[in-house]
Structure 1
Amino acid sequence: MTKTAPPAATPVSLITNVRVADGRHVDVAIADGRIAALGAALPRQDAVRIEDGAGALLLPGFVEGHTHLDKTNWGLPWYRNEVGARLTDRIENERHWRARSGHDAGTQSLALARAFVQMGTTRVRTHVDIDTDAGLRHLDGVLATRDTLRDVLEMQIVAFPQSGLLGRPGTAELLDRALAAGADVLGALDPALIDGDPVKSLDLSFEIAQRHGKPIDIHLHEPGEVGAFTLGLLLDRVAALGMQGQVVVSHAFCLGALPERERDALLERLAALRVALLTTAPAAVPVPPLAACREHGVTLFGGNDGIRDTWTPYGSPDMLERAMLIAMRYGLRRDDDLALAFDCVSSVAAHACGFADYGLQPGARADLVLVDADTLAHAIVARPPRRLVVSNGRVVARDGVLVDL
């Protein structure tokens, strides 16, 4: 039996009869991949292709602020996880498994990236392992995925030293090459507990980043006082080198375990230096406090981390699910509080990562998601199929089915 090919992505010029979060019924006019107008009863005569929204809820395209596309086993047979409990156990297990199995970062990152688009995500920041065994092989695969989907998925790539910067000679040189080859952001990992010398590690990371004129996104799993010490050193360098607004601290578990006075002092510095925090809202470890971050003006946004890889069986390309998990972790129940969780995977994430022209306003890139839900809170909790996904002004998914990209 001949299998019917999915329809190709097509531009749309007008979406009629949709509802925005405040309940208003509006139309959305699109031109050259951007929102040209948003309002009631927009003119139809100039529209070449019209989509009837049928009263669906209109949302902006979602933003995945922290994932690892290169690691995923999405679509592969189930990986049986028997790895040890330590961070180093997971790192070594993954390296050996990827080499032994022939895991292909290009094929796998494309599979998961397409699933993100299908579920309404149009901007992604992904960390990619830069490893002295694999060299730039994983980066090459993800660069190919970015190129394949460049018209419908805006992707930032973080060159990430999964084994740390100092422990494996040649890592710094590989990071240099990765940034020169097209990575957008320099990654780093636990300068004290993995590298063993936070001063030397941070100095080298900032030196590499500044040499290439790139921002930094550091994984900071270090707990309590150790993490606070490392965070303080990092903030010293942000201030000294004028890198305000160019650094993200991912995870930052220490901020969820410190005494309030010490925590708040760090939050004040984070806010003043415009250093953003990323949380995946894990259930089993401390997390940066959402309310205190908002009180001090610290940007806190969300992401999945790994999805179906050797580290974890969890994760999903549905950012409405991640918003729900963030809301659950922080005890958000009111509808207006659930909206804060959605901000973590939409506007706040776009701002923190530096994705431009985002949102539901004229001039923004036309990245739109239609769902059958009464309200934003309902959409987060029910996570209905995506009736329509538009990216860069093109229909890329309809009724939960990805078009031919």
Structure 2
Amino acid sequence: MVSTTLVNVRPWGAPASDVTVDDGRIAAIAAHDAARPPEPDDVPGEGRILLPSFSDVHVHLDSTRVGLPFRSHSVPEPRTLWDCIMNDRENWRDAGASVAERATTTLGRAIGHGLTSARSYAQVDADCGLERLAGVVAAREAHAGRADVQIVAFPQAGLLLEPGVPELMDAALREGADVVGGIDPCGLDRNPVAHLDIVFDLAERHDVPIDIHLHEAGELGLFSMGLVLDRIRAHGLTSRVTLAHSFALASGLPAVAGVLDRIAEWDVALTTVAPGPREGLPMTDVLARGIRAGLGQDGQRDYWSPYGTTDMLDRTWQLAFTQGWNRDALIEHALAVATVGGRSVIDPAAPRLTSLEDRPGLAVGDAADVVLLRGDTPTAAVMDRDGGRTVLRGGRVVAQDGVLLG
């Protein structure tokens, strides 16, 4: 049995404790004993805040340019989704490093900031085939001892607009992808029946979950959500579907409440990249219904956007800011969404958030996937986003002060 003690830590900002980890799980939590003799395997907490580690559940590791020279945003205005797709297609091979190198660098930096689980998209289309998937798989393998990475086979350019894409998606699910993706069945492919036929057929044949990007706004987006929810009911896929972005839920239309009720009924997960009040999820309404929700960084310094730092604590601040949250309890809840909330998106059986005050993930028996942060309180940690972090996966230190170990 491998035993480690995190000495003088503050779980979720509570009074100082000593947390014992055995075989990768939290075995005991006791008040900090300043007189306790140090052990060789102790992890010095130094009074830092102990949190569950971060989960980025909406990241495009195949498009990142983190670590490379900065390039100005090159999509002409007013930009459309298709403009962005084609601009990426024209540039990604000339990024200056391979997909595997870029994805590995970006994932490593995210781990250094406190991440130990992620769901990454890997583009599959007639242009790149499975090349971008292979790059994300390589990054997952490079950091296999430090983080769990679930990969979505993602038809960024649609399933129906170019020949051979459904067959490529099928191959991707045999070659390392864990989830089947979809995108804007009405707005992009303009054939929601055929699009969803392919997505749900692949999910059932490969026994994998589904993750669908829905950029569609307003009534069109709500219509697409309704079609997806109808399919979930017909196929009995409760707890097996995630809707990403879901900008239509920010529309304020009267139908939103009913759609949220159906999302809760079929245990559909939602993910957001905290884009702002016009497109961001109505988080308090989502959380009040017990809907699983997680946070992600999206693309980072790529051909879609110059934003992104690999630090989920930055994106936590952005979630709180764009939601207009000022009270400590709400800002702490943004941390809960960015950590255990994301874990429950990846694994529906994982502990999930039950209220705005719920702070799970650090109880006896929980996995010792944790991060130590500096800060007077969890809210202060979000506001200041200091360095000096220690990241543990399964009770083993995998990053210290941004430097990867092991």
Q: Shorter-normalised TM-score: what interval?
A: over 0.9
Out of 4, 10, 13, the position equivalent to 2:4 is 13
Matches within 5 A, 1:126-165: 126-165=120-159
Q: Which residue of 1 aligns with 2:358?
A: none
Say if 2:372 and 2:389, in contact at 8 Å, map to a contact too: yes
The 1-side partners of 2:32 and 2:137 are apart by 42
The 3 A distance-change label for structure 1 pair 374 and 136 is: same
Alignment RMSD: 2.0
Provide the identity percentage: 38
For residue 315 of structure 2, the aligned residue among 313, 322, 325 is: 322
Instruction: Supply the distance in 2 between the matched residues of 1:152 and 1:204 (Cα, whole angstroms).
Output: 34
Q: Corresponding residue for 1:335?
A: 328
1:145-200 per-position Cα deviation (integer Å, ceiling 9, x unaligned)? 11121111111101101101111111111111111112111111100111010111
Amino acid at match of 2:271: L
- What is the CA deviation profile of residues 24-66 of structure 1, one whole-angstrom value per residue up to 9, with x for unaligned ones? 2211112222222222257968954112212111111111111
Pair 1:353 & 2:355 matched: no
Partner of 1:233: helix, strand, or coil?
A: helix
For residue 300 of structure 1, what is the amino acid of its counterpart?
A
2:15 maps to 24
Deviation, structure 1 residue 105? 1.1
CA distance in 1, matches of 2:43, 2:176: 37
Aligned to 1:38: 29
Alignment of 1:236-255 (within 5 A): 236-255=230-249
Distance 1:210 1:218 in 2: 15
State the match for 2:188 in structure 1.
194
Match of 2:115 among 115, 121, 135: 121
- Further displaced range: 297-306 or 333-342: 297-306
- Cα offset, 1:348, TM superposition: 1.2
- Confirm or deny that 1:61 pairs with 2:53: yes
Match of 1:51 in 2: 43
For residues 254-298 of structure 1, give each alpha carbon's deviation from its aligned partner in whole angstroms, at most 9, with x where no partner exists: 1111423x1111011000010111111112742221122223332
**1:380-391 to 2 correspondences below 5 Å:** 380-391=382-393
Out of 58, 72, 75, the residue aligned to residue 67 of structure 2 is 75
Cα deviation digits, residues 102-123 of structure 1 (max 9, x gap): 6511000000010011000111
Q: CA deviation at 1:132?
A: 1.4
1:401 aligns with 2:394: no
Question: Which segment drifts farther, 349-358 or 267-276?
Answer: 349-358
Question: Aligned with 1:345: secondary structure?
Answer: helix
Q: TM-score, normalized by length of structure 1? A: 0.92
Shift of 1:368: 1.8
CA 1:364–1:357 in structure 2 vs 1: closer, same or farther (change >3 Å)?
Answer: farther
User: Which ranges of structure 1 fall in alignment gaps of 5 or more residues?
Assistant: 1-10
Shift of 1:397: 2.1
Q: Work out the CA distance in 2 between the residues paired with 1:225 and 1:76.
A: 40
Normalised by the length of structure 2, the TM-score is 0.92
**Cα 1:357–1:301 shift into 2, 3 Å:** closer
Post-superposition Cα deviations, 1:111-150, rounded to whole Å, max 9, x if no partner, equal 0010011000111111110121211111111111111211
The more displaced of 52-61 and 360-369 is 360-369
How far off its partner does 1:331 sit?
Answer: 0.6
Could you tell me which runs of 5 or more consecutive residues in structure 2 were left unpaired when the two chains were aligned.
352-360
Q: Secondary structure at the match of 2:220?
A: helix
Equivalent residue for 1:225? 219
Provide closer, same or farther for how the CA distance between residues 391 and 192 of structure 1 changes in structure 2, counting only shifts above 3 A. Answer: same
Q: Choose which of 160, 167, 172 in structure 2 pairs with 1:166.
A: 160
Query: Do 1:16 and 1:27's aligned partners in 2 also have CA atoms closer than 8 Å?
Result: yes
In the alignment, is the contact (CA less than 8 A) between 2:344 and 2:350 conserved in 1?
no
**Equivalent residues of 2:397, 2:405 under 8 A apart:** no
